[in-house]
């Protein structure tokens, strides 16, 4: 397989010609700027510290109740320059949005504005305590209140719970509100309906809240099967959890009809708002009959993903569910405009709230970033965000569908993500190989093998962050890798070649888990 | 608009390629009645960086900054000095703008960091395995209870009265829906926690007993007897720690026989941030319990060339594989806060953490002795680390705290705020002291507290 393919990519020849893989062996194992970095525990020392603190006075009196530590903890330290170098070297083995295109579907890897970071670090936000007297933190309460009001405006919903700490925590908030609402009217229900294409967090959340989960099938065009859903509704169904736009990248155009049917059967409608960025400023979910929807501030409102969080998942609620919102929440005094927290003690105002989900008020550091982003974009900019995200995704869909199976390409325009499948690949090649091939081309792969309803799913979400030039370049690279998969290029099975690591043995890692450094 | 690279020319060219004439053709599946025809009403139009900065700074200026006044608040969130290099590292785009390491070949930075983090947390807690973080200490506490019910196949959890009341609230909220039984209690205002009473509440149906260490009143005591009592009844001991710095001075929960150790990691690297984002820590002492753990786990492996590398592993516990049978619904966790914790812990090392803990304790002892001299004030605790409880001789602590804030001192957390409506706790004040507290701050608190007590009826 040394012949160049249509994209001009010649993996083995290039490797040999460039000397990159077959070149001289270095004594350090480094390759120019690609630097090997040992584990902290291999380079740190127990007697080294990077912080100047007073020496421990072993003779000083203590009041530790006889529990002073006698055994070593087993930690190691580095001086400041060593620490900075260690983590800087590690950082260079990571792909991030700052480095390039990151079309991880459903995750919305958009640019993280640095103004957001600067604002979140203002001491007036970063250096205040969650239990400070409320007269000392009026500005912080105002931030939460203002952000909450704008989330209500953008979604057309009357109320919001700000404390959930991420999307899945927001789902839990919404589902608990639904359960509390049913309990309040003495109506025990057992089942939550979830489409097959849902995020795994949806069934996990419903199960965690004590519900039995039943799947709703999809139509061949990639949307909820409305007839099947309606047929399943009944007095045992507490509600539905539907992602809209859905994980196949399509708008659920019958959402209102679904919501009306669910309501008529005494249930509630949970909308997974992970994909709200496609419709922000264009459609208000409240107009579609939603009772609860979480909003991932780390997706739609640009707070950084941080290598796996922290996120933030405020939940907007309908009139029916609002009274059950978790504590604490913020209210404004009509008399003097000041803000205050409603907590366990405010017995009248807390009403039938289902209680507290987290120790404090939620992800303040994410609130300041999201509010900064909203102010930057404004009403006009947020609408443009949704439009550009959808435009970019459709452009990719239509630029790829001639060579790559797009299972719902005929279902109309996609929203903010384009979904493909691997059914036409040959020679045993699959989605995984295309993903790894894209790594060699300098891209973070799309989301793979999700949603589960498509064989070898590839979910591409470009977001509004990318320029046309960047997307065109990606399309060229993506087409090149797909062509190799269609042709059955064996070399693709070994990709990636040029990343800090080659394919990793995940089976071995799980068979004999090594989850901490030993030694 | 500064964040949007497409030009109108680009947009037209792209629409042409798609075969659409206007952008609204792409929203054709949205029912017309639900479509908005212009920018939504109720939000301002876009604004320059300078204008946004002005708006946010005005909001920030309305808060009393902890670092600008004598500051003594704790109760689950502690103000420590964070070395400058921590924030520099976490702002590197390769860490800041990456996501959950689904593609390990290009996420070794995050993965190796998580492996180091898991090792640091496990060692600090005296455990075998720690996960890659949860949202915060309170949700980690619930996850521990839920895990204990899975391991023991029992549905009853006994909470110590001296568990942080917000943590207890979170557990009770969740248990209401899962059908687990929670036996909780109020803290006894005594110099030593009532461990005998706690142990008496453990029975054959108990999945776990949950104890905070140091507890909500700042007290510390040997939990070995509680571990033995729990194990004798087939229950697990869950220990909750809200101040990881304490474990630089006192025995680890694992050494005392805790089965699951959870806590809040905010003290190291993360900062106060008005309550979030914080860092949930979760560890188990016995590796046999690993497959019942919630959350992500990073494990060591090798790549196709035999090089050491790291991956997320044992994901068959998790929601994206197991769906409704997952051990937790958690997806996004606190990755960047874990990085901040790890960088701070690396800078400290064994030596620095022990010095930091000793300095916290030294200043706390100074403060306790000085505040005990204020007329009408008594220190409740026999033992403490960096936080203790003051009894205010019948004066209402919440009013005193508000009055102190007006005097420019953030004097602590009143138990009246944490336990509203519980008369026995209204006169108690929690005071936390860290390395950021100066001797002048302590003197100032003592003086203002004396004045405030005199003037408060």
The 10s digit of each residue's pLDDT in B210-269 is: 999 999 999 999 999 999 999 999 999 999 999 999 999 999 999 999 999 999 999 999
Kindly report the backbone phi and psi dihedral angles of residue B54, in degrees, each rounded to the nearest multiple of 5, phi listed first.
-60, -45
Closest to B294 measured CA to CA, from B118, B439, B134, B120? B134
Q: Tell me whether A39 touches chain B (CB under 8 Å).
A: yes
The predicted pLDDT at position A307 comes to 95
Cβ-contact B265, B278 below 8 angstroms: yes
Chain segment B372-407, per-residue pLDDT in tens: 999 999 999 999 999 999 999 889 999 999 999 999
Task: Pick A154's closest partner by Cβ from B40, B301, B405.
Answer: B40
The number of angstroms, rounded, from the C-alpha of A104 to the middle of its chain's C-alpha atoms is 9
| Residue B260 contacts residue B116 (beta carbons within 8 Å) | no
Token pair in block for residue A492: 């693709």
Give, in degrees to the nearest 5, the angle at Cα B188 between B183 and B194.
75
- A77: contact with B, CB 8 A cutoff: yes
Please report the residues numbered 449 through 468 in chain A whose beta carbons come closer than 8 angstroms to any beta carbon of chain B.
Answer: 450, 464-468
Residues B235 and B208 sit within 8 Å (Cβ to Cβ): yes
Which segments of chain A belong to CATH 3.40.640.10? 115-371
| CATH class for the domain made up of A115-371 | alpha beta
What residues have CB less than 8 Å from B423, skipping those under 6 apart?
A: none
Nearest to A380 among B45, B146, B435 (CB): B45
Helix (H, G, I), strand (E, B) or coil at A69: coil
CA distances from B87 to B134, B357, B388, B406 (A): 21, 22, 30, 32
Can you tell me the ipTM of this complex?
0.97
| C-beta of residue B188 within 8 angstroms of C-beta of residue B161 | yes
Q: Along the 519 residues of chain A, how does pLDDT read in single tens digits?
A: 344 444 444 444 444 444 455 577 888 888 888 888 999 999 999 999 999 999 999 899 999 999 999 999 999 999 999 999 999 999 999 999 999 999 999 999 999 999 999 999 999 999 999 999 999 999 999 999 999 999 999 999 999 999 999 999 999 999 999 999 999 999 989 999 999 888 889 999 999 888 999 999 999 999 999 999 999 999 999 999 999 999 999 999 999 999 999 999 999 999 999 999 999 999 999 999 999 999 999 999 999 999 999 999 999 999 999 999 999 999 999 999 999 999 888 878 889 999 999 999 999 999 999 999 999 999 999 999 999 999 999 999 999 999 999 999 999 999 999 999 999 999 999 999 999 999 999 999 999 999 999 999 999 999 999 999 999 999 999 999 999 999 999 999 999 999 999 999 999 999 999 999 998
Contact A378 B385 (CB under 8 A): no
What is the average pLDDT across B171-185?
A: 95
Residue B66 to residue A127, Cβ atoms within 8 A? yes
Distances (CA, A) of A52 to A367, A507, B325: 34, 44, 48
Size of interface A-B (CB pairs under 8 A): 738
Burial A333-369 (b: 16+ CB within 10 A, else e): eeeeeebbbbbbbbeeebeebbbbbbbbbbbbbbbbb
Which stretch of DSSP H or E encloses residue A393? helix A364-400
Q: Hey, how many other C-beta atoms are within 10 angstroms of the C-beta on A190?
A: 12
Which CATH code fits A386-511? 3.90.1150.10
Q: Which of A330, A381, A151 is nearest to B42 (CA)?
A: A151
Q: Which residues fall within 8 angstroms of residue A290, CB to CB, at 6 or more apart?
A: A155, A157, A259, A269, A270, A271, A316, A318
Of B66-75, B155-164, B412-421, the one with minimum mean pLDDT is B412-421
Residue bearing tokens 């239990």: A131
For A165, the closest of B132, B139, B272 (CB atoms) is: B139
pLDDT of residue A14: 45
Q: Is B375 on the interface with A (CB under 8 A)?
A: no
Q: Name chain B contacts of A51, Cβ cutoff 8 Å.
A: 83, 347-348, 352, 355-356
Angle, helices B108-125 vs B335-372, to 10°: value is 30
The reply to whether A78 touches chain B by the CB within 8 Å rule is: yes
Task: Name beta bridge partners: B378.
Answer: B391
Cα separations (Å) of A269 from A173, A224, A356, B26, B393?
Answer: 13, 14, 22, 25, 53
Measured CA to CA, the distance from residue B283 to residue B240 in angstroms comes to: 11
Measured distance CA(B237)–CA(A469) in Å, rounded: 58
Radius of gyration of chain B measured on its C-alpha atoms:
25
Distance of CA A485 to the CA centre of its chain: 29
Cα–Cα distance between B41 and B58 in angstroms, integer? 24
In tens, the pLDDT along B344-357 reads: 999 999 999 999 99
Chain centroid offset of residue A248 CA: 16
Closest Cα of chain A to B7: distance in Å?
9
Across the strands, what pairs with B301? B309
Q: 3-state DSSP call for residue A26?
A: coil
Ranges of CATH 3.90.1150.10 domains, chain A? 386-511
Residue B98: which of A96, A125, A365 has the nearest Cβ? A96
Report the residue of A75, A145, A255, A438 to disrupt the B interface, i.e. the one with the largest count of B CBs within 10 Å. Answer: A75
Tokens (6 digits) for A475: 């399309």
Secondary element (H or E) of residue A437 = helix A431-440
Pairing of strands A268-272, A237-243: parallel
A128, A299, A385: best mutation site toward chain B, by most B Cβ within 10 Å? A128
Lookup: tokens for B21: 């004439």
* Residues in chain A closer than 8 A to B33 (CB atoms): 287
Interface membership of A37 toward B (CB under 8 Å): yes
Q: Using a CB-CB distance cutoff of 8 angstroms, which residues of chain A are in contact with residue B89? A: 83-84, 87-88, 91
| Predicted local confidence at residue A22, as pLDDT | 58
Dihedral sign of CA atoms A96, A102, A105, A111 in order: positive
- Choose from B273, B305, B321, B343 for mutation: most chain A CBs within 10 A: B273
Q: Tell me which chain B residues have a C-beta less than 8 angstroms from the C-beta of A53.
A: 352, 355-356, 359, 435
- Looking at the predicted structure, is the pLDDT value of residue B69 above 80? yes
User: Tell me, what's the pLDDT at B266?
Assistant: 98
Quick check: B136 contacting A, CB < 8 Å? yes
With CB atoms and an 8 Å threshold, state whether A359 touches B275.
yes
Q: Where are the beta strands (DSSP E) in B71-226?
A: 129-130, 156-159, 181-183, 206-212
**Does A86 sit within 8 Å of B346, measured CB to CB?**
yes
Chain A residues in contact with B267 (beta carbon < 8 A): none
Q: Which helix (H) or strand (E) holds A241?
A: strand A237-243
CA nearest to B258, candidates B115, B124, B161: B124
* Percent of residues in chain B assigned helix, strand, coil, to nearest 5: 45, 15, 40
Coil, strand or helix at A215: strand
- Cβ-defined contact of B95 to A133 (cutoff 8 Å): no
Query: Which residue carries 């279902």 as its tokens?
Result: A411
Q: Do A391 and B23 touch (CB under 8 A)?
A: yes
The length of chain B is: 457
User: Within the 229-248 window of chain B, which residues sit less than 8 Å (CB to CB) from chain A?
Assistant: 247-248
CA distance A415 to chain B (A): 7
User: Can you tell me which residue has the tokens 């608040």?
Assistant: B73
Of B44, B132, B355, the CB nearest to A56: B355
> DSSP secondary structure string, A122-145?
SHHHHT--TTS-GGGBHHHHHHHH
| B325 or B118: which leads in pLDDT | B118
Q: Is the CB of A37 less than 8 angstroms away from the CB of B303?
A: no
- Closest C-alpha among A500, A451, A459, A476 to residue A102: A459
Contact A354, A326 (CB under 8 A): yes
Residue A110: phi and psi, rounded to 5, are: -95, 170
- Give the number of other CB atoms < 10 A from CB of residue B53: 18
Q: Which residue of B has its CA nearest to A35?
A: B109
In chain A, residues 257-276 whose CB comes closer than 8 Å to chain B: none
Residue with tokens 């898991």: B118
Helices B335-372 and B439-455: angle between axes, nearest 10 degrees = 60
Nearest residue on chain B to A280, alpha-carbon basis: B40
Confirm if A318 and B343 have CB atoms less than 8 A apart: no
Q: Report how far apart, in Å, the C-alpha atoms of B408 and of each of B6, B70, B146, B401 are.
A: 51, 8, 43, 10
Radius of gyration of chain A (CA): 26
Nearest CA in chain B to A41: B116
Q: Which 3 state secondary structure label does DSSP give B8?
A: helix
What is the pLDDT at residue A129?
98
Nearest of A479, A279, A260, A286 to residue A388 by alpha carbon: A279
- The pLDDT assigned to A17 comes to 46
Q: Whole-angstrom Cα distance, residue A52 to residue A313?
A: 39
User: DSSP readout, B372-437?
Assistant: HTSTT-EE--SS-SSEEEEE-TT--HHHHHHHHHHTT-B--EEHHHHSTT-GGGTTEEEEE--TT-
| Pairwise CA distance, residues B97 & B4, whole Å | 17
Beta strands in B169-233 (DSSP E): 181-183, 206-212
The pLDDT assigned to B321 comes to 81
CA of A375 vs chain B CAs: smallest distance (Å): 6
Residue of A84, A345, A360 lying closest to B276 (CB–CB): A360
Restricting to A residues 220-249, those with a Cβ less than 8 Å away from any Cβ of B are none
Q: Do residues A78 and B346 touch, judged by C-beta distance below 8 A?
A: yes
Classify residue B181 by its DSSP letter.
E
């Amino acid at each position: 397989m040394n012949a160049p393919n249509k994209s001009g990519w010649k993996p083995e020849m290039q490797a040999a010609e460039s000397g990159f893989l077959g070149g001289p062996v270095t004594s350090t194992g480094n390759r120019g700027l690609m630097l090997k970095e040992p584990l902290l525990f291999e380079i740190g020392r127990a007697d080294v510290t990077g912080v100047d603190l007073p020496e421990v006075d072993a003779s000083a009196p203590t009041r530790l109740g006889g529990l002073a530590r006698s055994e070593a903890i087993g930690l190691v330290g580095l001086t400041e320059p060593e620490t900075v170098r260690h983590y800087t070297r590690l950082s260079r083995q990571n792909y991030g949005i700052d480095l390039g295109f990151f079309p991880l579907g459903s995750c919305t890897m958009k640019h993280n504005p640095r103004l957001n970071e600067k604002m979140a670090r203002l001491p007036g936000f970063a250096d205040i305590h969650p239990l400070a007297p409320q007269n000392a933190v009026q500005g912080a309460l105002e931030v939460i209140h203002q952000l909450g009001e704008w989330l209500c405006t953008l979604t057309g919903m009357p109320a919001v719970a700000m404390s959930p700490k991420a999307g899945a925590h927001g789902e839990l908030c919404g589902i608990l509100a639904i359960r509390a609402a049913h309990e309040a009217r003495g109506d025990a229900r057992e089942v939550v309906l979830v489409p097959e294409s849902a995020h795994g967090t949806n069934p996990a959340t419903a199960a965690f809240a004590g519900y039995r989960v039943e799947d709703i099938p999809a139509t061949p065009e990639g949307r909820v099967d409305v007839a099947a859903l309606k047929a399943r509704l009944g007095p045992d169904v507490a509600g539905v959890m539907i992602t809209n736009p859905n994980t196949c990248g399509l708008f659920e155009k019958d959402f209102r009809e679904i919501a009306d049917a669910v309501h008529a059967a005494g249930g509630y409608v949970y909308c997974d708002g992970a994909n709200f960025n496609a419709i922000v400023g264009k459609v208000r979910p409240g107009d579609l009959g939603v009772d609860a929807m979480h909003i991932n501030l780390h997706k739609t409102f640009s707070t950084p993903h941080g290598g796996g969080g922290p996120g933030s998942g405020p939940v907007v609620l309908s009139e029916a569910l609002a009274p059950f919102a978790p504590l604490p929440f913020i209210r404004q005094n009509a008399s003097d405009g000041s803000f205050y927290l409603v907590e366990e003690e405010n017995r009248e105002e807390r009403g039938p709230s289902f209680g507290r989900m987290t120790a404090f008020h939620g992800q303040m550091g994410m609130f300041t970033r999201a509010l900064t982003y909203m102010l930057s974009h404004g009403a006009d900019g947020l609408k443009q965000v949704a439009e550009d995200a959808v435009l970019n995704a459709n452009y990719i869909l239509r630029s790829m569908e001639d060579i790559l199976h797009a299972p719902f390409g005929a279902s109309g325009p996609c929203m903010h993500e384009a979904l493909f499948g691997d059914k036409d690949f040959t020679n045993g090649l699959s989605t995984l190989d295309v993903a790894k091939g894209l790594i060699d081309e300098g891209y973070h792969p799309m989301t793979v093998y999700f949603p589960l309803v498509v064989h070898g799913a590839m979910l591409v979400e470009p977001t509004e962050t990318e320029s046309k030039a960047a997307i065109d370049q990606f399309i060229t690279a993506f087409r090149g890798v797909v062509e190799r998969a269609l042709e059955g290029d064996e070399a693709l099975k070994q990709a990636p070649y040029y990343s800090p690591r080659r394919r990793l043995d995940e089976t071995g890692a799980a068979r004999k888990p090594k989850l901490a450094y030993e030694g | 608009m500064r964040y949007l690279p497409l030009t109108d020319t680009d947009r037209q060219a792209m629409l042409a390629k798609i075969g659409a004439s206007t952008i609204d053709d792409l929203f054709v599946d949205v029912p017309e009645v639900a479509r908005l025809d212009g920018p939504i009403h109720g939000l301002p139009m876009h604004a320059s960086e300078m204008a946004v900065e002005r708006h946010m700074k005005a909001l920030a200026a309305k808060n009393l900054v902890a670092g600008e006044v004598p500051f003594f608040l704790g109760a689950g969130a502690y103000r420590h000095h964070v070395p400058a290099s921590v924030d520099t590292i976490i702002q590197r785009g390769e860490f800041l703008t990456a996501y959950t390491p689904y593609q390990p070949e290009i996420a070794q930075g995050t993965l190796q960091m998580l492996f180091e983090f898991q090792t640091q947390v496990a060692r600090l807690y005296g455990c075998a395995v720690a996960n890659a973080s949860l949202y915060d200490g309170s949700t980690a506490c619930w996850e521990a209870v839920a895990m204990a019910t899975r391991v023991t196949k029992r549905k009853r959890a006994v909470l110590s009265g001296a568990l942080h009341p917000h943590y207890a609230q979170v557990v009770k909220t969740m248990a209401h829906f899962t059908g687990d039984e929670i036996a909780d209690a109020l803290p006894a205002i005594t110099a030593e926690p009532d461990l005998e009473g706690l142990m008496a509440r453990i029975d054959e149906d108990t999945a776990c007993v949950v104890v905070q260490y140091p507890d909500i009143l700042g007290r510390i005591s040997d939990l070995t007897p509680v571990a033995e009592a729990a194990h004798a009844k087939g229950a697990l001991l869950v220990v909750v720690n809200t101040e990881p710095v304490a474990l630089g001075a006192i025995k680890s929960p694992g050494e005392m026989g805790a089965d699951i150790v959870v806590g809040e990691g905010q003290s190291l690297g993360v900062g106060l941030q008005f309550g979030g984002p914080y860092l949930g820590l979760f560890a188990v002492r016995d590796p046999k319990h690993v497959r019942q753990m919630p959350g992500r786990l990073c494990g060591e492996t090798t790549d196709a060339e035999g090089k050491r590398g790291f991956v997320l592993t044992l994901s068959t516990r998790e929601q994206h594989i197991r769906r409704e049978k997952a051990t937790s619904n958690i997806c996004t966790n606190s990755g960047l806060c874990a990085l901040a914790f790890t960088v701070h812990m690396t800078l400290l090392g064994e030596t620095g953490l022990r010095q930091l803990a000793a300095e916290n304790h030294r200043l706390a002892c100074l403060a306790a002795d000085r505040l005990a001299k204020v007329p009408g004030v008594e220190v409740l605790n026999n033992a403490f680390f960096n936080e203790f409880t003051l009894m205010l001789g019948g004066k209402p602590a919440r009013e005193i705290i508000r009055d102190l804030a007006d005097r420019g001192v953030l004097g602590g957390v009143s138990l009246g705020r944490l336990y509203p409506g519980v008369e026995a706790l209204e006169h108690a004040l929690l005071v936390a002291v860290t390395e950021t507290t100066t001797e002048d701050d302590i003197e100032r608190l003592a003086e203002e507290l004396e004045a405030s007590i005199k003037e408060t009826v």
